[in-house]
Amino acid sequence: MEDEFRKRIKVPHTFIVHNYTRPTKCMLCNKLLKGLFRQGVQCKDCKFNCHKKCSEKVARNCLGEDNWVPGAIGSTQSIDSNGDTSDQSSTLSEELDPTKQPQDNEEDVEEYIPLKPAISPTTSSNIPLMRVVQSVKHTKRTGSKFIRQGWMVHYTNRDNQRKRHFWQLDPNAITLFPNDNTNRYYKEITLSDVSSMEMNDDMANGNYVFELHVSTGTIFYVGALAETDITSAESGMGKEQAEYWESAIRQALIPFTNVRMEKKEESEVVKVEKKEEKEDISKLYQICPDDVLGSGQFGIVYGGKHRKSGRDVAIKVIDKMRFPTKQEAQLKNEVSILHNINNPGVVNLEHTFETPERIFVVMEKLKGDMLEMILSSPKGRLTERITKFLISQILAALRHLHNKSIVHCDLKPENVLLSSETPFPQVKLCDFGFARIIGEKSFRRSVVGTPAYLAPEVLKNRGYNRSLDMWSVGVIIYVSLSGTFPFNEDEEISDQIQNAAFMYPPSPWNEISRDGTI
């Protein structure tokens, strides 16, 4: 196999500028790709990641397909005050290619870079405030017509003739239309009638990709392998296209799944009182499939109600069948931390349920987040008075957490929830998936959080302590008052920090008091 690889033609990589949504390493020099946007370049064929300045040094060994694991941070380390290190499993991405030798001790590749004009403090090219991709918030499905639509082929256990229809998936049903421009449908499969789904692992059983079992006894054999490598979306053929449908349907089915609690003696997640261990979650809470509140680190968050009291709740639902092992540790970390916190500044965790297939995390439901409040303000930014009111609550919550040696590690406006839609709401911190236990004199090196709000020492893979949260609070203050991030995308963040004059351009900082900039 190696001889065959050596005989291959040396194909150069086709690099294009790429925006990375998670901390990623250069696969040549093994150093972090720094910045908020356009941090590096990626080969559009094999997904090789590297610095722009390193791209000229990369060997001509493009495989022409996605055989490379994108340059990502592998194992991380924690370091305490006396310098001892201990390995930790990374929650950020997969390991680097094992054939790649680390080069942390080598000097950065030098490249001639033309001098840029000095940054003028009179103009601002700062990045507008936005919801970062890493914490994308799904829009509500209420009133939407479909989640996914497209052509698909199928046959059933009652009719072996393969049919092609235009499928539409909405929060309540799968509808099969004869074409894509009619309201008359051939068949409707309500999601509540779907009893199970199974992938076809052996094509000898039939040319289909997955099975859809309905309570009436009908089995839909969906998808088909294409006869050629290139297929059109209109054909309804192709394994990849059918797998997308299987994944979308499986996610849409989660609120309809009627599961019973099972006792798990060794489970670290389930912490339910004994009297509730055998109860059906649907008897305690009603999940509203049309009310999608958003997406956290680990799954879809639905609106719901406590059946007995009628109280609104938020229910995070995770499909364990598609749950990465490393993220399972993050979820358990979040749940264990929230179970031990009882503070008005932190979102309240009500119950956690676990079954062999899914995990249900029930939390109090709030009215939105701080980012929505900023973006919906008349000027796209908050007043100093409102900002001071919100930040004081964040600091009070952090004081409580830090006194318990808990560091949030992913503070940003998206993770600051509002209890009401009033101008001066109570706020609560949420999403503790990246939280760490850090002692008063201890340091960590594991790279966690969202790059736009991370301190420079984290991005440089240096040790950090509880002050990490305070840096994030500073960025939150800046984006609240200005409506932009404090950095622009054309300069190194470290250089911008040393030249603070440009960070406060006249618009809007002339309208902000001196206290707001100190």
Residue with tokens 């509002």: 418
358-364 vs 436-437, strand pairing mode: unpaired
Q: Answer whether the bond into residue 508 is a cis peptide, omega within 30°.
A: yes
Separation between Cα atoms, residue 108 and residue 53, nearest integer Å: 9
How far, in Å, CA of 16 to CA of 382, rounded?
A: 37
Residue with tokens 């979820």: 331
Q: Is 80 a catalytic residue?
A: no
What is the C-alpha separation between 25 and 27, in angstroms, rounded? 6
CB contact at 8 A, 13 and 58: yes
Helix (H) or strand (E) holding 292: strand 285-295
Residue carrying structure tokens 């080598």: 106
Q: Helix and strand tally (H, E) in the chain?
A: 10, 22
| Catalytic residue, candidates 369, 410, 431, 469 | 410
Report helix, strand or coil for 354.
strand
Q: How many Cβ atoms from other residues are within 10 Å of residue 36's Cβ?
A: 20
What does the alpha-carbon distance between residue 41 and residue 34 come to, in Å, rounded to a whole number? 12
CA-only gyration radius of the chain, Å: 26
Distance CA 312, CA 318 (A): 20
Q: At which residue do the structure tokens 């007995």 appear?
A: 308
Q: Find out whether 34 is annotated in a ligand binding site.
A: no
Structural contact between residues 53 and 41, judged by C-beta atoms closer than 8 angstroms: no
Point out the annotated binding site for ATP.
316
**Residues tagged active-site:** 410
Point out the annotated binding site.
316
